[in-house]
Structure 1
């Protein structure tokens, strides 16, 4: 049943909408793409799409966008050279959730591990570390915002008896600095660290860096175990979103079957927004890989 707003509430909504549209015209300073048009998808906003649970396992809640979500994940798995038959992922609410998931997997692998992250790391990481009750050490940064590898080497050497969990920045918030996975792995080898895990926070820079093959490399071919990117930043979406990719043999340590939803609980949130995967899918299909490359070049 449709119930119209009363006059006062209608005026309040109209006033807000005018303000939001005006602000959008002059909205700068945040890495948010606005040049998108998803009007073709508006009819889907009438539907309660929910991708609850694991994207690879169907649910009794069959009003979902799992099939399109899997196509999105496959696109990025190929882009980031995820190992064939040994990767997994899902569309998240944004980079912060992806970082939480990467650290969650690392904790399940190495409960006594220490997280090393630079002082230029996104604020969500410290919060995630607290939520997961992980030990951590903050590493100094260089003038360009990149991790100070001498400081990392010294800190790892002091705690050689503990597994190492690296949170690498692939584009810091203020300077877009990229931590060098090759140099990080050299340190791990130098200190004879056998038990280690590397997660890359590639929220903004990850997609365009991979498309343009920018150095230093950071994908699965370069040693990452998991990575998180944002969908609303480089690609653009009216709803904040992102995705996380992880090696499947690591992910398999997490999750349990939930009978009443008919699927497996392997994600951070239970109910997951079913609209965001469609927005990302639509953008990928409209632009294609070459269109995304051109988009990246135009932004440089």
Structure 2
């Protein structure tokens, strides 16, 4: 690894080069979920201040340089969106990974001998968080469409039913945007005799747009989740990573409740000092758009995803998408296309994510690049179908 000495004579040129690289790749960077339609630059004057939301969001710290009043409004919005019963708790995190770690900490505080169960499609932060917390894990296969294999989950749950089971449900997997059925998982655990259970909905990618659609699948706190998290830098497009965790309040009763005298606020968070600028950015977009504006953006992304799927089908490039998904899964393009269009790829599958700010023109350009290569399927494949198999046949639990 090349190491560069700080304060070199070419600092300005390096910064200029970074800015040119970011601007030059923006038009083809549609494989990673980050909305680009919101301008946060009106908050630039606040960059001249340290904004430290140290400690619990409900209690202001001693120092005045914080944005906790804005954070509380953000949390109230998401508690309402995800129908959290009163009383609830939560805070603005550094991103999905911290949110998942905090959720599993809540689960462990309630069930110290609990077993974490997640699918092979779960975010990489889940096994990492379980390891940090010293929790045992069981990994369940995912179905071809990305959903957890419910029958395999039932088998593992029945085998370990005398221990608490902590299930992490994917609400929008990273590759296919599959959504695990929280209601069905709760019923499944009850049917096999698991009395002590905790269910966390990792909704980093899809939680907001799904909650704003008509007839969404069951995944929120009314549907049986004990905690839920979203990422701010995905659907809301904040220019720095952040997230939100909302949990049933009874889950926080077992946490340490230290009150550092020099902070003046109890610290029930993972990080202690937290980014007050993130709360301000989230407040800004929620305040300006509200539910109507967010719903309109969600509908735009879903319609664009449907358009992208159809464009790929029209040129003979295998693709599919889940209902309501912003993600379109496609056969992995050749390296010559990926060199310009950096799409996440695994096992012969890639995806694009039609986040707000992605345009029809960008989709058309990618389709044109694929059509030019003429790499069309020569044999049947799972991706040859206009929609991927639901893989939702569920065997009853005896």
Give the structure-1-normalised TM-score: 0.95
Structure-1 residue corresponding to 2:270: 268
Query: How far apart are 1:28 and its partner, in Å?
Result: 2.0
Report Cα offsets for 1:155-191 as digits up to 9, x if no partner. 0111111011010001111111111112111111112
Dislocated runs of 4+, deviation >4 Å: none
Structure-2 residue corresponding to 1:134: 135
Aligned: 1:25 with 2:30: no
Structure-2 residue corresponding to 1:282: 284
Structure-1 residue corresponding to 2:226: 225
Kept in 1, the 8 Å contact 2:259–2:265? The answer is yes
Structure-1 residue corresponding to 2:244: 243
Aligned: 1:198 with 2:199: yes
Distance 1:179 1:102 in 2: 17
Structure-2 residue corresponding to 1:295: 297
Structure-1 residue corresponding to 2:254: 253
What RMSD in Å do the two structures reach over aligned CA positions?
1.2
Could you say what secondary structure the match of 2:10 adopts? helix
Structure-2 residue corresponding to 1:82: 84
Structure-2 residue corresponding to 1:116: 117
Report Cα offsets for 1:21-40 as digits up to 9, x if no partner. 22223322101111111121
Could you say what secondary structure the match of 2:28 adopts? coil
Distance 2:233 2:30 in 1: 15
Kept in 1, the 8 Å contact 2:201–2:227? The answer is yes
Aligned: 1:125 with 2:126: yes
Bigger radius of gyration among the two: 2
Kept in 1, the 8 Å contact 2:115–2:165? The answer is yes
Kept in 1, the 8 Å contact 2:161–2:195? The answer is no
Structure-1 residue corresponding to 2:11: 9
Structure 2: gaps (5+ residues): 1-6, 303-398
Kept in 2, the 8 Å contact 1:52–1:61? The answer is no
Structure 1: gaps (5+ residues): none
Distance 1:31 1:20 in 2: 16
Matches within 5 A, 1:144-159: 144-159=145-160
Distance 1:50 1:149 in 2: 43
Query: How far apart are 1:6 and its partner, in Å?
Result: 7.1
Give the structure-2-normalised TM-score: 0.72
Structure-2 residue corresponding to 1:53: 55
